[in-house]
Amino acid sequence: MKFTVATGPTAEVQADLIAIGAWEKAVESPEARATDRALGGLLQRAAKAEDFRGKEGSRVEVPTAGLRNQRFLLVGLGKRKGATPDTLRKAASLVARRGRDTGARTVAFSLESWGTRDPRRAGQAIAEGALLGTYEFDRYKSKKENGEKKREPPSEFRVRVPKAGPRRALEQGFQRGQIIAESVCFARDLVNEPPGTLTPRRFAEEAQKMAREAGLKCTVLDEKEMEKRGMGGLLGVARGSDEPPRFIQVEYTPKGARRHIALCGKGITFDSGGLDLKPADGMLRMKYDMAGGAAVLGAIRAISQLKPKARVTALVPTTENMPGPRAYKPGDVVRPLGGKTVEIGNTDAEGRVVLSDALGHAVQLGADEIIDVATLTGACMVALGILAAGLFANDEKMARRLLKSAHIAGEKLWRLPLYEEYMEQIKGEIADIKNVGDRYGGAITAALFLREFVGDRKWAHLDIAGAAFTEKDLPYCVKGGTGLAVRTLTEYVTASP
Ligand code: BES
Ligand code: ZN
Ligand code: ZN
């Protein structure tokens, strides 16, 4: 999809589908009135007939048959007060989807009612919304057999402004939005891929391919190398599977970088629970247990094109968690990097065990800041639901900046506490630390466990168990992997500290 800027009266924009944004309780803007006049009153009639009030997500299609070949669309933007760039993501997604479903090659969206505030962010949000909203994972649909024709998204998305002033800023925004949206879709593809094909080896190959295309350095460690380095956590979890594990490292190293950020992502390509086997409904979606790994790879992909002055290393420990004959057992002790011994209380709490090696490795690399991203606990899902990720941090500034980045990126992130009192729950009986706590507060004890492996480094942990996958279509995401955290991480790294 190409993004362009158009000027002049709305009714004269060249496009198959022309959309006009309307605020709630202010549907009749000067723009709407002018366009209505040009259309001989069709706009108002359609709005009246459908009782259109500009509610967010609502729309009215205006038939112009006999008068013009174009379709017009009134798009509700919701309340003007409290509108954010996410309002534009949703609107742009709606317009692009409608264009796709009506066979439009060119769609246009008028920004007049939005105004000219921060056109760069507006351009970014529109490009993200249009591209993310029309994303589909159809690799495994045999179109020819059921006779369906593939619905192609529009090839051009025009953003109409009354005057050409904000053109440059809009175009800069489009470019940034395109880079970020493509990287989110890269992550979504990895998450949506079935577990039988996206094995740890294949995951590593996909990372290598991405790194090659992005001009990044990629190193993949095999079991022998892991053993040499002492990655006993990842090796322990991998014992129950026939598929060999991998440790993926991708590096972005610009000249003159003043800080080094490590992004660690949980890469369990399938979580059966191990010997503490999950029941069927708990296991069904467990291909998405590598969504944290996909997110950090998506983020470094975007970062490599946006070129911030920060060194970034993405680390992804990847394996299946299976109950094979040599599987690690409840009661076992494993030795991750960094010297602390881990007693296994439950083999299904494997994410923190493989991440401990990644965190230890990040410390050894000398990272100043470490952020890990993981589909870590069902408890976090219970606490925050399926739209938000949990944030834990040992550094106030990092926490604040991550919350701000998430807000700008349009992703929901909510801070949760690291209560020292709960450390007692994860004291080991025969080893230093145990991988499970008591029944309650599971998201917190999981985060406390991870904190044990970051030493004195600034660290934050994103628990994305709920929001990494959606069971129903969202305003700009279809059912499946969401690519959550790519946008927040990219914003965090590219914003000035
Ligand atoms: N991958 C799961 C967490 C999860 C659950 C992600 C649901 C997405 C949706 C993780 O490995 C796990 O099984 N955690 C256990 C920990 C427990 C055994 C302490 C959990 O949350 O139940
Ligand atoms: Zn598990
Ligand atoms: Zn898991």
- Cα–Cα distance between 106 and 181 in angstroms, integer? 19
Which residue among 348, 426, 469 is best mutated to probe the pocket of ligand 1, counting the most ligand atoms within 8 A of its Cβ?
348
Amino acid identity, residue 423?
A: M
Buried b (16+ CB within 10 A) or exposed e, 465-474: bbbbbbeeeb
Q: What is the pLDDT of residue 197?
A: 98
Q: Catalytic residue at 352? A: yes
Cβ neighbourhood burial of 55 (10 Å; 0-12, 13-18, 19+): middle
| Protein residues near ligand 2, an ion, with CB under 5 A | 271, 348, 350
Q: Is 93 exposed, middle or buried (0-12, 13-18, 19+ CB in 10 A)?
A: buried
So what's the pLDDT on residue 203? Answer: 99
Taking a 5 Å cut-off on Cβ, the residues next to ion ligand 3 are: 268, 271, 289, 351
What span, in angstroms and rounded, lies between the C-alpha atoms of 139 and 469?
Answer: 18
Task: Please tell me the residue having the least CA distance from ligand 1 atom 16.
Answer: 349
- Compute the radius of gyration of the chain from its Cα atoms: 24
The interaxial angle of helices 119-133 and 167-192, nearest 10 deg, is 30
Amino acid at the residue 52 = F
Whether the full predicted model's pTM is greater than 0.95, yes or no, is: yes
State how far the alpha carbon of 330 is from the alpha carbons of 67, 248, 435, 449, in Å: 73, 27, 10, 17
Strand partners, 320: 270
pLDDT digits (tens, 9 = 90+) for 42-61: 999 999 999 999 999 999 99
**Rounded-to-integer distance, Cα 358 and Cα 245, Å:** 13
Paired sense of beta strands 311-321 and 246-252, if any: antiparallel
Q: Which residues of the chain have pLDDT under 70?
A: 144-148
Residues 6+ apart with CB under 8 A from 266: 289, 290, 291, 292, 293, 317, 351, 354, 355, 372, 373, 374, 375, 376
The type of residue at 26 is A
Residue 224 annotated to the active site: no
